[in-house]
């Protein structure tokens, strides 16, 4: 019984260590930071229109109370 517990603890430690190591991999993202509320208005548009709207999205708009509450995405 003790041997099984030791093996189980060792296995759990290995799984936790492996998942933690892979969680810290660097990821490169590219795009524009846009609030969810404003992007939702353009998400149904053609891809080029949505990309243009994201590129032209202003900082002032993104910092409006409603936009802040909606969250952000790339």
Q: Looking at the domain assignment, is residue 21 inside a domain?
A: no
Structure tokens at 61: 């708009």
How does DSSP classify residue 24?
T
Q: Looking at the domain assignment, is residue 48 inside a domain?
A: yes
Q: Looking at the domain assignment, is residue 6 inside a domain?
A: no
Q: Which domain holds residue 45?
A: 34-73
For the segment 18-58, what is each residue's pLDDT rounded down to a tens digit?
666 666 678 888 888 888 888 888 777 777 888 888 888 88
Q: Looking at the domain assignment, is residue 23 inside a domain?
A: no
Residue 65: predicted pLDDT: 93
Residue 1: predicted pLDDT: 66
Residue 69: predicted pLDDT: 92
For the segment 58-70, what is each residue's pLDDT rounded down to a tens digit?
889 889 999 899 9
Q: Looking at the domain assignment, is residue 57 inside a domain?
A: yes
* Alpha-carbon separation of residue 38 from 21, 30, 35, 74 (angstroms): 35, 19, 6, 12
Q: Looking at the domain assignment, is residue 68 inside a domain?
A: yes
Report how many domains make up the chain.
1
The model's pTM = 0.53
Residue 5: predicted pLDDT: 67
């Amino acid at each position: 019984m003790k041997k099984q517990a030791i093996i189980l603890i060792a296995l759990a430690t290995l799984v936790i260590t492996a998942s933690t190591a892979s969680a810290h991999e660097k990821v490169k993202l590219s795009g524009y930071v846009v609030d969810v509320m404003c992007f939702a208005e353009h998400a149904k548009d053609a891809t080029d229109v949505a990309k243009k709207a994201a590129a032209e999205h202003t900082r002032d708009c993104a910092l409006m109370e409603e936009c802040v509450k909606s969250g952000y995405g790339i």
